Structure 1
Amino acid sequence: MLIVIAIATMAVYSFTDLMLAYDDSAYLSGDIVQTRVNVESGAEAVRLLLAEPPELRVDYGGVYNNPQMFQAVNVSLGDDNSTPSSFSILAPGLNDEGRLAGLRFGLQNESARLNINALPILENSSAGMMASVLTATDDAEESSEDATSDNIAVSLLLTLPGMTEDIADAILDWLDEDEEVRPFGAEAEYYSTLPTPYVPKNGPVLSVEELLLVRGVTPTLLFGADANRNGVLDGDEQQRFGATVETAGSLGWAAYLTVHGAEASKRRDGGFRVDVNQDDLELLYEELSEALENDDYATFIAAYRIAGQSNSTMALLSGNAGGGEQAEVEGRWTADLMGEFDLSGGGGTSCTQILDLVGATVTVGNGDNARAYSSPFSEDLISMGIYMPILMDTLTTQEVEVMPGRINLNECPAELLYGIPLLPEEAVEGILETRDVNSDDPNRQFETWPLVEGLVTLDEMRLLTPLVTCGGDVFRAQIVGYFEQSGVSSRAEVIVDATTVNPKIVLWRDLSHLGRGFDLSVLGSRSLTGLEGDDSGGNGLGN
């Protein structure tokens, strides 16, 4: 009898232990679900914030480095109000030299990366841009050998740590549409000889990871020592790979590349820009008058479309500089001269870029009665500081709603700036030394600020404009959902496209299997009295 009682007692204890284990498992599963909900809440918060125009985002503290908005945002306090769970949104930072280092609480602009799908376009444009360099250079013979051999796409790739000319050519062969093999490249003939043969894409890639199919690209080159994909080099990664934060390429090429960069053709207040190349000049004049609120500006641009002449080298080479012999300049353009023009007949001069208007002239009359008037957009830097942010924010030369992402001068790593062959090294150093993402100077919101501040010349800026920006409307967020008092967490990398009225998530990569990625001391904890170690209080986002 005692044996039966003992066996029954042990069975009860075993059943109790099993039920407790199931109970713990249920709680753990619930906690994991909660952390995933936290990540989803963070992604939705990002999407809603990016639905606001850039001007309004600044009022919230901006999206670049804003701990109040993106660190330890509480989602739930738990059933007993004592088990808080939150999300934090992090992005790689830049050190004083402009290189990737450290962390910040905010979003990463995809235009701070090189859009690899834009490389074939840049390569096709290289010849024309270099021709402009030669035309604008006084000592053309001395520079011709170097300039004509420059390929913007190759130059940008070669600036990546560990990149070789062989791999750069292989990447461009993978992207371009033809089957012609570059001097150091690879096409279908090579890939068909592999143990598992395949053909090159010969077109845009869908992800940076697709580059692993390119000859010579390895996981180590693409991802570096960043095994957990958190954007920084952790202590264990440094020990495992024998690398330090100072080691070139320690974060891999993936930290510099994207396939998602894009810009919406909108003003900072969210409205659409005026296309100065539209056919209906009467409508153009109406839109310019309303947008610019300056009659001299509006009338000059409308008149330029009829009888304008630009001193831009790129405009001359493209045939958009205006025709006819330059008349003697009699003075500066004023709005009362507009009476000499008939806008109903359309225009014969187009703008290749907004900077064509700077230093341009408009000719009034014909033959012996022809008189030229200089642009109200003069070339002196003081005047530029006044009118340049107005022009760059309000006007465009393309009838498109979305443009491929250019390189963001304010946020990109130094390596990408040094890779632009059209940008002098001393100008790069000046940009890196003085750039400030959080500047309230309106000129700093646009790619022309190095021109306004005298770091580059007008001709250099005209060449750089197709390559660089200070905008970008696609953002990357690394979101960690976690409990502040336990190790349960979820993590995802999310890319949000804000080029549309309703921002959309275009990539969701679950990184939970790689761990939380960041210590709790970094992620932070937020109580009802505010962020631990921060007296500024909570922001309410995601509550």
Structure 2
Amino acid sequence: MSRTSARHRHGFFLVLVLVVVAVATMAVYSFTELMLAADETAYLQGDLVQARLNVDTGVETVRLVLASPPADRDEMGGVYENASLFRSIAITNELDGPVQRFSVIAPGISDTGSLGGIRFGLQDESARINVNALLVLEENSDAIGMLTTLSGGSAAADGILGDAISGGSGATSGSDETLDAENIAVELLLTLPGMDEAIADAILDWIDEDSEPRAMGCEDEYYSSLSTPYACPNEPLKSVEELLLVRGVTPQLLFGADTNRNGVLDLDEQQRTAASIDTSGALGWAAYLTVHGGENNKTAAGDPRVNINGEDLEVLYDELLTALGDETFASFIVAYRMYGKSSIENSTALLAANALSGGDEVSDEADSASESEKELWSVDVMEDVDLTAGPAVEINQVLDLIDAEVTIGDGEEAVVYMSPFISDPTLMSEYLPLLMDQLSTQDVDVLPGRINLNEAPAEILAGISLVDADTMAAILEARNASGAGAGAYGSGSATDRTHETWPLTEGIVSLDQMRALMPLVTAGGDVFRAQVIGFDETTGLAARGEAIIDATTVNPRVVAYRDLTHLGRGFEISVLRGY
């Protein structure tokens, strides 16, 4: 009996050893699994770092491209849509392992002129409304209003471009009010889907320098009464997202259904929000607004433009000869500075005379002379001109030179000379691109951001009330016929639309209408937005970032950067690869 019990006790140790071995095995297995997971995490983290470096490489590549003058970019294929520069660009080669790549994607423009689809290229910030520049429009409202009146501008507020912006404007539908140039800043904002005058006034109150609220706006009195009070800064916006602090602005209004911020409405976003690309405000205001934007006051070759308002006319004459290569053109411009009449002064006289005559058409004093008493300008006239006398007139815009006149002499000896710049569309298509490229009326390095006629969506063009609705619709139709961005640098189009005066040279607008548009529109800016996706073509692991690059300096600089990796890749690998 006792021997059997002893044998049983000896067998118990065997079981105990087996249990210990099993537990130790499980511990080793768990530790191994943990180490493998840590190893995979380390590799994954390294791959993610590589993906972010791919994005950084893409941003630096864009900076390098933008360091070239527009003419050189044109030879490379431009930056609007250029797959060879911006689609699936290899950073490493196959010998170094999986190929690392980056793509640069921007929202496209649909056939109706609205945002839709994608393209491989950069987005010009001038294709958006620069919120910080709206106050400049208000400050110059008198001059803009004068030009608008002469051009027959203003349009009904209920949908300036018809179907292209159906339901998109925040202006009251069916209103009999007109878009007044004095309120151009508000009217530009009102074209945004879901915008109303109260929010527009609140936005302008947020960025203006005074503490007086507009009619429907608000200042510190409102913001200090909130449960979490804060001050109204009364200074320019630092980012579009800052608008979320403005009364009435919500995340839904600002960002719409574009939850991953890739600039397009993806299928899952459409299903989740029951929205489509045709839904008003689907992409939010952020797709139409910016706080950056500017234009280099330089030629396409990257040289400074000639300031035709220079004080030393002898120096100006030499500069014009070099830039234009035409003595007749150069001599007339300096003669106009001495003997011409300011366009603003001329416009004031015309408006006053028109008001006194009860609206009948009137002409200025120079037009009273018959054409037979006028002579076409000749460089020979310069023999009687003393450039050391200095200028008497400042030119408001380059278009002032077209159909201008100068009167040399007094009394019966006075002779009226007509400009060599004649307002014939065929002739203008020859000389106007040269004038717009080489000349400027301001001695500044950078011009404030205006709206890009070649790339701005129809919703933004709807807010430009400086011409009538039919004219703006014709501009949009002409642009859409050859595609947005066509005619700009690198588009490959035969049509020269590298300057904002292309609607004039193509006969779409009159000279007066173009004068009214000039303060607000451009054909291209020099601040660009790049959405860069860096990815591993084998694993599909990706990082995404959005950079705003200011190319108005010698070395383009990143003025804003946002890491969007946490919002997902944004696009399928097949889209990024391009195959």
- Check whether the contact 2:179–2:187 (CA below 8 A) recurs between aligned residues: no
The Cα offsets for residues 9-45 of structure 1, whole Å up to 9 and x where unpaired, read as: 4444333323322221221111011101100000000
Q: Match of 2:397? A: 353
The secondary structure found in structure 2 opposite 1:19 is helix
Aligned equivalents of 1:324 and 1:433: distance in 2?
38
Give 1:96 deviation, angstroms. 0.4
Give 1:5 deviation, angstroms. 4.3
When normalised by structure 1's length, the TM-score is 0.91
Q: Match of 1:15? A: 31
Give 1:367 deviation, angstroms. 2.2
The secondary structure found in structure 2 opposite 1:516 is coil
- Alignment counterpart, residue 193 of structure 1, candidates 190, 207, 225: 225
Identity %: 54
Q: Match of 2:166? A: none
The Cα offsets for residues 415-471 of structure 1, whole Å up to 9 and x where unpaired, read as: 111111112222222222222423344641010000111111111110110100002
Give 1:199 deviation, angstroms. 1.9
Q: 1:232 and 1:148, CA in 2 relative to 1: closer, same or farther beyond 3 A?
A: closer
Q: Match of 1:106? A: 121
Q: 1:315 and 1:493, CA in 2 relative to 1: closer, same or farther beyond 3 A?
A: farther
Aligned equivalents of 1:68 and 1:11: distance in 2?
54
Give 1:521 deviation, angstroms. 1.3
Q: 1:366 and 1:159, CA in 2 relative to 1: closer, same or farther beyond 3 A?
A: same
Q: Match of 1:510? A: 563
- In the alignment, structure 1 residue 227 sits paired with structure 2 residue 289: no
Structure 1: which amino acid aligns with 2:486? N
Q: How does 1:258-297 map to 2 (within 5 A)?
A: 258-297=290-329
Aligned equivalents of 1:68 and 1:134: distance in 2?
46
Q: Match of 1:34? A: 50
The Cα offsets for residues 240-295 of structure 1, whole Å up to 9 and x where unpaired, read as: 21211110100000100000011110001111100000101010000000000011
Q: How does 1:122-141 map to 2 (within 5 A)?
A: 122-135=137-150, 137=152
**Count, aligned residues:** 517
- Check whether the contact 1:91–1:477 (CA below 8 A) recurs between aligned residues: yes
- Check whether the contact 1:388–1:443 (CA below 8 A) recurs between aligned residues: no
Q: Match of 2:534? A: 481
The secondary structure found in structure 2 opposite 1:86 is strand
Q: Match of 1:421? A: 465
Give 1:497 deviation, angstroms. 0.1
Instruction: Answer with 122-131 or 490-499: which moved more.
Output: 122-131
- In the alignment, structure 1 residue 438 sits paired with structure 2 residue 486: yes
Q: How does 1:304-453 map to 2 (within 5 A)?
A: 304-309=336-341, 312=343, 316-317=347-348, 329-435=373-479, 436=483, 437-439=485-487, 440-441=493-494, 443-453=496-506
The secondary structure found in structure 1 opposite 2:562 is strand
Give 1:4 deviation, angstroms. 4.8
Q: Where do 5+ consecutive residues of structure 2 fail to align?
A: 1-16, 155-175, 351-363, 488-492
The secondary structure found in structure 1 opposite 2:548 is strand
The Cα offsets for residues 460-513 of structure 1, whole Å up to 9 and x where unpaired, read as: 110110100002000000001111122421110000000011100001100111
Q: Match of 2:543? A: 490
Q: Match of 1:175? A: 207
Structure 2: which amino acid aligns with 1:466? P
Aligned equivalents of 2:29 and 2:210: distance in 1?
73
Give 1:99 deviation, angstroms. 0.2
Q: Match of 2:67? A: 51
Give 1:126 deviation, angstroms. 2.3
- In the alignment, structure 1 residue 72 sits paired with structure 2 residue 88: yes
Q: 1:488 and 1:315, CA in 2 relative to 1: closer, same or farther beyond 3 A?
A: farther
Aligned equivalents of 1:145 and 1:509: distance in 2?
41
Q: 1:490 and 1:424, CA in 2 relative to 1: closer, same or farther beyond 3 A?
A: same
Instruction: Answer with 2-11 or 55-64: which moved more.
Output: 2-11
Give 1:330 deviation, angstroms. 2.5
- Check whether the contact 1:133–1:147 (CA below 8 A) recurs between aligned residues: no
Q: 1:172 and 1:283, CA in 2 relative to 1: closer, same or farther beyond 3 A?
A: same
- Alignment counterpart, residue 184 of structure 2, candidates 149, 152, 162: 152
Instruction: Answer with 243-252 or 482-491: which moved more.
Output: 482-491
- Alignment counterpart, residue 210 of structure 1, candidates 242, 249, 256: 242
Give 1:180 deviation, angstroms. 2.0
- Check whether the contact 2:70–2:302 (CA below 8 A) recurs between aligned residues: yes
Structure 1: which amino acid aligns with 2:393? T
Structure 2: which amino acid aligns with 1:46? V
Give 1:148 deviation, angstroms. 5.3
When normalised by structure 2's length, the TM-score is 0.85
Instruction: Answer with 196-205 or 14-23: which moved more.
Output: 14-23
Structure 1: which amino acid aligns with 2:112? E
Aligned equivalents of 1:161 and 1:441: distance in 2?
35
Aligned equivalents of 2:178 and 2:38: distance in 1?
71
- In the alignment, structure 1 residue 89 sits paired with structure 2 residue 104: yes
Give 1:130 deviation, angstroms. 1.9
What's the Cα RMSD here?
Answer: 2.3
Give 1:110 deviation, angstroms. 0.2
- In the alignment, structure 1 residue 301 sits paired with structure 2 residue 349: no
- Alignment counterpart, residue 522 of structure 2, candidates 444, 469, 472: 469
- Alignment counterpart, residue 193 of structure 2, candidates 151, 154, 161: 161
- Check whether the contact 1:92–1:232 (CA below 8 A) recurs between aligned residues: yes
The secondary structure found in structure 1 opposite 2:91 is strand
The secondary structure found in structure 2 opposite 1:444 is coil
Give 1:207 deviation, angstroms. 0.7
The Cα offsets for residues 290-347 of structure 1, whole Å up to 9 and x where unpaired, read as: 000011100100111111236x46754399xxx9967764321111111111111211
Give 1:183 deviation, angstroms. 1.8
Structure 1: which amino acid aligns with 2:548? I
